[in-house]
Amino acid sequence: MPELAQQMSVSVGDLLFDPENPRLPSTMRGKGEAPVLKYMLDEYAVTDLMLSMAENGYYGVEPLLVVQSEQAGKFVVVEGNRRLAALKLLLNPELAPVKQQSVREIARLLGGKRDSLLQVPATLYSSRSDIVLYLGYRHVIGVYSWNTLAKARYLHELRVQLYGGVPDDGADVKIAKTIGSRRDYVQKLLEAY
């Protein structure tokens, strides 16, 4: 059971992408911010999200889920990396490694609303593992479904974290129950991974 989390407001400049994000290829781990932004722009329709934020602001009912970084005063975004990409690009369009013109045009739409995006709501957890189970609920069976590879990476990470990564029907059944999915679906994704 996760410890109680702390609600807070965090400067976007103090937020870091999750290097263990299941959406990202493992080859991107530790490569820095620019490759993550490029991948998000290319693969995950970040410009659509930017347009929404430029028009409507940041929805406070969707706090980023974060953990303390090893870097003093910084936080790793475990849940909400796509939103973080949109925020970073809206506030600093020059960071866009691709689609620069589109990103600049969308950032201009902010006008005087830019300052409203400098600080965003976040929920601080004591460890990444406190958030991991929620990710399964939200992205494997929930309304914000990840693609198949991201789901498989997540389930593999969860099995390693909870059960040492050993292929085991019992572990797969427990994982399926934990995230509210079917055992055969969980097994199929893990076998394919």
Measured CA to CA, the distance from residue 33 to residue 161 in angstroms comes to 26
Give the strand pairing for 75-79 and 119-125. Answer: unpaired
With b for 16 or more beta-carbon neighbours within 10 A and e for fewer, the 156-173 pattern comes to ebbbeeeeeeeeeeebbe
pLDDT computed for residue 1 by the predictor: 43
With b for 16 or more beta-carbon neighbours within 10 A and e for fewer, the 86-117 pattern comes to bbbbbbebeebeebeebbeebbeebeeeeeeb
For 82-117, what is each residue's pLDDT tens digit?
999 999 999 999 999 999 999 999 999 998 899 999
Give 35 or 132, the one with higher predicted confidence: 35
Give helix 81-91 / helix 100-108 axis angle, nearest 10°.
Answer: 80
Could you tell me the two tokens for 8?
């807070």
Would you call 76 helix, strand, or coil by DSSP?
Answer: strand
Cβ count within 10 A of residue 124: 17
Measured CA to CA, the distance from residue 86 to residue 169 in angstroms comes to 39
Measured CA to CA, the distance from residue 37 to residue 85 in angstroms comes to 6
Give yes or no for residue 177 having a pLDDT over 80. Answer: no
Give the position of tokens 């400067």.
11
pTM of the model: 0.74
| Range with lowest mean pLDDT among 22-26, 30-34, 134-138, 156-160 | 134-138
Rounded to the nearest 5°, which phi and psi values hold at 166? -75, 125
For 112-162, what is each residue's pLDDT tens digit?
899 999 999 999 999 888 887 676 656 565 556 677 888 888 788 888 887
Give 30 or 6, the one with higher predicted confidence: 6
